[in-house]
Structure 1
Amino acid sequence: MYQETELIGIAKRENNKKRNYLVVNKLQGKHVPVEPKLALTMFQELAKQVKKDNEGKRLLLVGFAETATAIGAAVAAYLNCDYIQTTREHVEQVNYLFFSEAHSHAVEQKLIKEDMDVAIPLADRIIFIEDEVTTGNTIMNIIHEIEQKYRSRVSFAVASLLNGMDETALRKYQEYNISMYYLVKTDHSQYEKIADNYYGDGSYTSIMQDLTCHYTDELLCTNAVNARRLTQGEVMQEACVGLWNQINAKYVFDKVQSILVLGTEEFMYPALFVADKMERSGLRVKFHATTRSPITVSSEDSYPLHSRYELKSFYDEERVTYLYDLEQYDQIFVITDAARNNSESGENSLLMALKAKNNKTIHLIRWCLE
């Protein structure tokens, strides 16, 4: 069983008056670089809890963007059930269910209504997948939205790596008969004070200028699956195998090399899957992803994040995105589902950050429906 001190560090949100702290999971592979096997093992432990209590049920898993998309896809792959993630991105020619995330820097979340129209009548239970649940309000918002729109008899549950809900919030969920699965129970009562005590004197670099530079090479992979649309765990898993096979066929790996596999914002699980395949083949691999979250960084050893690059997003050049604790590697694989016509400025911005850490061999892998 995991311990709180093993998994989390408390960081300070930047310019967020709603909540000044952020719980950073050191094994999740979002903000902190991690060995892929550690992240996937943790996700599978959560999946085992869900499976044990839901044998024979038809499940729809909903992973929350952006931090829980890899968790949700991994649990869906383990259970081989229906899966869809929330998104903040634009999807062409669809309608949305909207709901809010009150404490976040980016409050609007969406589910594609046409896919929910198909999935909900077939489901016995909808399970929301999160990295951490604190108040439960965001999930309750979408539950109310679903109940109002569909009048379905489907039941609900929540599965998260961490659960920081207080007794009042837990009691509310019990009254609604919403099951809770989690690996570690956390107590948030001191987190605000902990965050306030950090100096925020880490390394900050902004790379927002629009300069053209070039990756070592670019590979466009086929047969992409978009988890913003309804899919199935086995379908996603098979597609990720195909992604890995295309990458493995093109590149030659020296087993003594250090490799970084980097996902982009909501797009995490396929990149994590590839990173795991590399690690299983004997390579030294780390995985993490860019993020929308503006987090203060600090030089203090006890603080979870020490350096930050401020970049243009792969998905919208007007959006700021961030990358934390970047190091030097022998090879870097940036794996994204961003279409080429959306991402040139973001690609250049990230590449300049990678080169600033003296990374020289940087591959761009594009896995998207374009």
Structure 2
Amino acid sequence: MTGTETPSAVTRVRLPSGELSIDVQSGSPWKLDDLLGFGVRRNPKRGYLLVSRVLGKHVPVSPLTIRAAHRALARQLASDLPGPLLFIGLAETATALGEGVAREWGADTKRTDFTFLHTTRYRQRGELALGFQEPHSHASSHLVYRPAGGEGQRHFAHARTLVLIDDELSTGATLENLARGYMALNPQLERLLLVSLTDLCPRHGELQAALDLPTLSVSLLRGHLSFAPDPAYTSPALPPVSGNDSDKTPLLAAVSARNGQDATRSPLLDAALDRLLQTPAGQSVLILGTGEFQYPPYLLALRLQLARPDLSVFNSATTRSPVLVWGQIGHALSFTDNYRDDIPNFVYNVAPGGYDQVWIGHEGQATLDPQLLTVLGAQALRLA
């Protein structure tokens, strides 16, 4: 991999699949190198991957770094946004990011007239509100369920401000599809906010005109992205990435952000923290989330690090996203998913023996592949 910055702030990165160019706008709150590395998807739809250094998904990072990113985004959102508000995070990558931004905004503003939920790729009992497509994704179909609680249902039905959160914004197509689906359900919507770690979308004006809705974008870095595929490159075969579309309710947490509920008050989370507080001083601890289930494991990692500054705590998560070992992706493990879809899942940049302790947080009855636990010397923690 080679990356060079010119005086015009254009970064060019040569990947096996082609050349990526990112033109960073001056005045962006964070630097490109602080936010991103680069990788190659095993996906013929898109040959590159922007690998976040602050997300806690493909790269293990300190939960303090993750919290700093959540706070930096939340503090760009006005405190007087028209309410009620509906925050929606995109599965699977931005479930923790979305919830983190929503909860940090709520803590800063002291407002309670909002609900956070995230999209899902798992069918479950409950009222399905809408489905939409993520065109470039390896698994393109998303589902949005109506919140289970009364207040959440009211916020969903009557939101005046819709806040959509994803890790990156490149074409805007996915969030446009979601916004259109929601606007068809709620004609009272007055404002749309698009929140991302990196906003590289060139069509904001077009998007606002197409939706006919005041639209604001909030990010830590803004610019434009272009990718020139190498015609000689052939993408490796895409492994199975779609589930069996069966009802996953028996496997999922009874209280979940998929349903607009707060899973962070779980006594399981408190018990896990009590257990991890017994860790010997000076050890390195990795806490992994699983797929869409990311925020409670992140919160556990954050609480542990705050309570035990003598430990080196890291947070990341497993994923169904197939990526090559190249560039920012230095190591990959493949294992069987824990939602009985019989598809491969992956954990990146977590080599066996790299941490004194590895804990894998999961939900409900979604049991982990024993081989993954064995290879990493990890222990499973049910957190919701």
Query: Aligning the two structures, in what range does the TM-score lie when normalised by the shorter sequence?
Result: 0.7 to 0.9
Q: Residue by residue, what CA displacement relative to the aligned partner does 1:19-65 show, whole Å, maximum 9, x if unpaired? A: 1111111121100011110111111100100145x446331100000
Question: When you count helix as a share of all residues, which structure comes out higher?
Answer: 1
Match of 2:274 in 1: 249
Secondary structure of the residue aligned to 1:148 is helix
Corresponding position: 1:262 with 2:288: yes
Match of 1:350 in 2: 372
Aligned Cα root-mean-square deviation (Å): 2.6
Corresponding position: 1:171 with 2:205: yes
State the TM-score, normalizing by the size of structure 2: 0.77
Secondary structure of the residue aligned to 2:259 is coil
Query: Quick one: structure 1 residues 249 and 88, their matched pair in 2 at CA, closer, same or farther if it must change by over 3 Å?
Result: same
Match of 1:185 in 2: 222
Match of 1:97 in 2: 130
Counterpart contact for 1:224–1:367, Cα < 8 Å: no
Match of 2:30 in 1: 2
Alpha-carbon distance in structure 1 between the residues aligned to 2:283 and 2:147: 45
Alpha-carbon distance in structure 2 between the residues aligned to 1:253 and 1:51: 40
1:23 to 24, 37, 50: 50
Counterpart contact for 1:244–1:277, Cα < 8 Å: no
Alpha-carbon distance in structure 2 between the residues aligned to 1:236 and 1:75: 16
Alpha-carbon distance in structure 2 between the residues aligned to 1:244 and 1:236: 9
1:149 to 182, 185, 188: 185
Unmatched 5+ stretches in structure 1: 201-222
Letter in 1 for 2:135: A
Secondary structure of the residue aligned to 1:228 is helix
Counterpart contact for 2:40–2:47, Cα < 8 Å: yes
Alpha-carbon distance in structure 1 between the residues aligned to 2:273 and 2:130: 38
Residue correspondence of structure 1 range 195-214 to structure 2 within 5 A: none
2:76 to 49, 61, 72: 49
Match of 2:299 in 1: 273
Q: Residue by residue, what CA displacement relative to the aligned partner does 1:340-365 show, whole Å, maximum 9, x if unpaired? A: xx42xx431321331xxxx3xx3211
Alpha-carbon distance in structure 1 between the residues aligned to 2:332 and 2:69: 26
Residue correspondence of structure 1 range 315-354 to structure 2 within 5 A: 315-327=339-351, 328=353, 329-339=355-365, 342-343=366-367, 346-354=368-376
Alpha-carbon distance in structure 2 between the residues aligned to 1:245 and 1:229: 21
Corresponding position: 1:64 with 2:98: no
Letter in 2 for 1:4: L
Report the Cα offset of residue 255 of structure 1: 1.9
Match of 1:364 in 2: 380
Report the Cα offset of residue 338 of structure 1: 4.3
Corresponding position: 1:130 with 2:163: no
Alpha-carbon distance in structure 2 between the residues aligned to 1:75 and 1:10: 24
Report the Cα offset of residue 279 of structure 1: 1.4
Secondary structure of the residue aligned to 2:75 is helix
Alpha-carbon distance in structure 2 between the residues aligned to 1:254 and 1:171: 54
1:120 to 156, 170, 174: 156
Q: Bigger CA drift: 92-101 or 147-156?
A: 147-156
Counterpart contact for 1:120–1:154, Cα < 8 Å: no
Corresponding position: 1:229 with 2:265: no
Structure 1 stretches (4+) deviating beyond 6 angstroms?
none
Match of 1:296 in 2: 324
Alpha-carbon distance in structure 2 between the residues aligned to 1:190 and 1:121: 39
Counterpart contact for 1:314–1:338, Cα < 8 Å: no
Q: Residue by residue, what CA displacement relative to the aligned partner does 1:328-347 show, whole Å, maximum 9, x if unpaired? A: 221111111141xx42xx43
Match of 1:213 in 2: none
Counterpart contact for 1:4–1:186, Cα < 8 Å: no
Letter in 2 for 1:364: A
